[in-house]
Chains A and B, each alone.
Chain A
Amino acid sequence: MNDQNPVIETQNLTKTYRMGAADVLALRGVDMRIGAGDFVALMGSSGSGKSTMMHLLGCLDTPTAGRYLLEGRDVGSLSAQERARVRNQRIGFIFQTFNLLPRLTALDNVALPLLYRAAGGQGDNGTSRLDHGAGSRATGKQSPRERALAALTRVGLADRAGHRPTQLSGGQRQRVAIARALVGDPALILADEPTGNLDSSTGGDIMRLLAELHAEGRTLLLVTHDRAVAEQAEYTLHMRDGRLLP
């Protein structure tokens, strides 16, 4: 683990859901450090708070208490707009249910993050110059479609670019989703049970793909129930009752 410049560093991260009168303590103070280039599996029984943790790390949700530093930057102090930008440029999120837009082709789904990038006039140079400068510059000149096609090619689906999600198998859909997570050249890829909806052989393909991405130097955090899947990661973190086990 690269302890000098962690991609993720959380301190006492806490999340409480209010359910009517009762509070559900989903996270009870999590301290987590993940270094650049790490490939980490996150395990734990259902309800232990893994998804909640992933959502906070993905800037999709905000913690009730505690700090979250992404690439050394305190994400808790960011505005909604800045968090959108972080999601757009620094994080690739892979969901268990794929979450592709049904009316868009595979190519358009993959290109989606890039489209939200063009508008603000904030190209990939902003934050990515810090440590992913080389990768960004290499892809910076291409159009969103070209970059999306390159990402689709990377996951082996270039020939399905014009297909809609309903015309693709589960494994292919998850590949499209991975391409979408990759296309913006993020600092961190988060995958919440990416093989949970797939049969084991298809799931194996997806895991091989993720392992390849790690081999290319990307930082991955992966939630899984499957010990065999977790074994492909460099190391495994365990959660129970909203806490990270030592």
Chain B
Amino acid sequence: MTFVNVLRTALSGIAANKLRTGLTMLGIIIGVASVIATLALGNGARAAVENSFRFLGSDQIQVSGQFTVEDGEPKPAGKLLSYEDGLTLPDAAPLIDRVEMTVRGSGKVRHGQTTLDMPFTGVDAGALTSMIADGKVQPVGWPAGDLLTSEAFLARGRFFTHSEVAAGAQVCVLGYKTADDLFLGDDPIGQTVWINRKPCEVIGVIAELETVDEQERTRSKPNETFYLPVSTAVQNLFENDPWVEITARVTDEARMDEAKTQIAAHLRLRHGIEQGNDGKWLDDFRLTTKKDILGVQQDAARTFSVLLAALAVVSLVVGGFGIMNVMLVSVTERTREIGVRMAVGARQQDVVLQFLLEAALLSLAGGLVGILVGILAIPLAASLNAGLALLDPASIPVALLVALATGIIFGLYPALRAARLDPIEALRYE
């Protein structure tokens, strides 16, 4: 038989028993819907991490200070991460080839008669790339979905070079409004501004920025700021050692844990950290990778996922037995039909194929409905899991395959039973 004919035969077999078929498909529907929801939970957690930690590449380790809360105020648990900590890291940890450091503060910037007090950021040469990866701000009116480039972030001039950062050069890049307020429309490139009474040459102006999130636009002022090389900022703008944020890049993504060990050893040495009574290090820093964050998020989703997965398995088995039952009844009811088909030349494999396909179509139909139900159930799953559930497109083929497999596995026994019928016995069946 050609496939089309097998399909036609199978479809007409299903159509003959609509009600019973629909009822027993319920198990498959619930099972497949659970598969969709389970995968949506995992995907939701993943997407949440992607979104809030976009700046952290999968080959990067974020080094941050540990804080304790005393009298409602956060206090550093030990020593703060210093610029020196970061600077010495690539040499001390062989797996780290580069660190990016950021330091934040606020300072006075003066040009002519105008003095402004505003937050600034000490950054590395790659700061624009990091800003793009972070995805929180964009040039005003940037079309959604368009790829951002470092060039798009600059209104005039250029950004810092690696050598300027390494040398602690007296250069700065101004935010759009800062440049406007200080120079009133004149070209600031090449001019000198005074930052905390130190001269700095303006080498660039950042494009006018807005937050991507429209609700945050009234609160944040991304254009009232200025940027310095992190080295320059540390030298010129702080009285005490400032607290820096360090992102370390690992040369080999497969050896993230090893890299962490190297960083930890380096910082423990520099911070004079000792082991507690239980042998655990009393670290004053924390090392985070994207995988770590993902793991935490997924752990949170796991309990619920396990429940859903169990529901999926149970319903699929129930649905599978439902299909098996429908098919067994169908085979019995159609014993004569099988006899007739065999009498005109259907081979055993033709009969197996016919009933297997029927079971597969049944389960696929259940699967399709189940996918719809699953998609509709995602908001419900999200509300039970801190809002984290997102349809994973890959879950649709997975769910269909699961449904198909269920139909074929549970349809096999009835199909084989049909094929093993003796033609003449089957023809005699009343």
Q: How far is the CA of A103 from the CA of B334 in the complex (A)?
A: 11
Give, as a whole number of angstroms, the nearest-CB distance from B343 to chain A. Answer: 6
Q: Is the CB of A89 within 8 A of B345?
A: yes
When A85-B345, A85-B347 are in contact, do A118 and B2 touch as well, CB less than 8 Å? yes
When A60-B423, A115-B2, A118-B2 are in contact, do A81 and B347 touch as well, CB less than 8 Å? yes
Q: Is the CB of A180 within 8 A of B350?
A: no
Interface residues of B, dominant DSSP: helix
Q: Does residue A74 face the partner (Cβ distance < 8 Å to B)?
A: no
Contacts of B343 in A (CB 8 A): 58, 60, 87, 93, 99
Give, as a whole number of angstroms, the nearest-CB distance from B420 to chain A. Answer: 10
Among A51-77, those with CB < 8 Å from B are: 55, 58, 60-61
Q: Does residue A229 face the partner (Cβ distance < 8 Å to B)?
A: no
Q: Is the CB of B424 within 8 A of A116?
A: no
- Contact flags (1/0) for A104-132 with B, using CB distance below 8 Å? 10000000110111111000000000000
Q: How far is the CA of A58 from the CA of B349 in the complex (A)?
A: 20
Q: Does residue A84 face the partner (Cβ distance < 8 Å to B)?
A: yes
Q: Does residue A88 face the partner (Cβ distance < 8 Å to B)?
A: yes
Q: Is the CB of A112 within 8 A of B12?
A: no
When A60-B427, A61-B424, A103-B12 are in contact, do A119 and B344 touch as well, CB less than 8 Å? no
Q: Is the CB of B345 within 8 A of A88?
A: yes
Q: How far is the CA of A164 from the CA of B344 in the complex (A)?
A: 18
Binding site for A on B (CB under 8 A): 1-2, 5, 12, 16, 336-337, 339-350, 422-424, 427
> Contacting A116 at CB < 8 Å: which of B337, B339, B345?
B345
Contacts of B340 in A (CB 8 A): 99-101, 112
Q: Which residue of B lies closest to A59 (CB)?
A: B423
Contacts of B2 in A (CB 8 A): 115, 118-119
Q: Is the CB of B344 within 8 A of A180?
A: yes
Q: Is the CB of A115 within 8 A of B423?
A: no
Number of interface residues of A (CB under 8 A): 28
Give, as a whole number of angstroms, the nearest-CB distance from A57 to chain B. Answer: 12
User: Among A55, A84, A180, which residue has the most Cβ atoms of chain B within 10 A?
Assistant: A84
When A61-B423, A80-B348 are in contact, do A116 and B16 touch as well, CB less than 8 Å? no
Q: Is the CB of A116 within 8 A of B346?
A: yes
Q: Is the CB of B337 within 8 A of A84?
A: no
26 sample A-B contacts, Cβ–Cβ < 8 Å, listed by A number: A58-B343, A60-B342, A61-B422, A61-B423, A80-B348, A81-B347, A84-B345, A84-B346, A84-B347, A85-B345, A87-B423, A88-B345, A93-B344, A99-B427, A112-B341, A115-B2, A116-B1, A116-B345, A116-B347, A116-B350, A118-B1, A118-B2, A119-B1, A119-B2, A180-B344, A184-B345
Q: Is the CB of A116 within 8 A of B12?
A: no
Q: Which residue of B lies closest to A98 (CB)?
A: B340
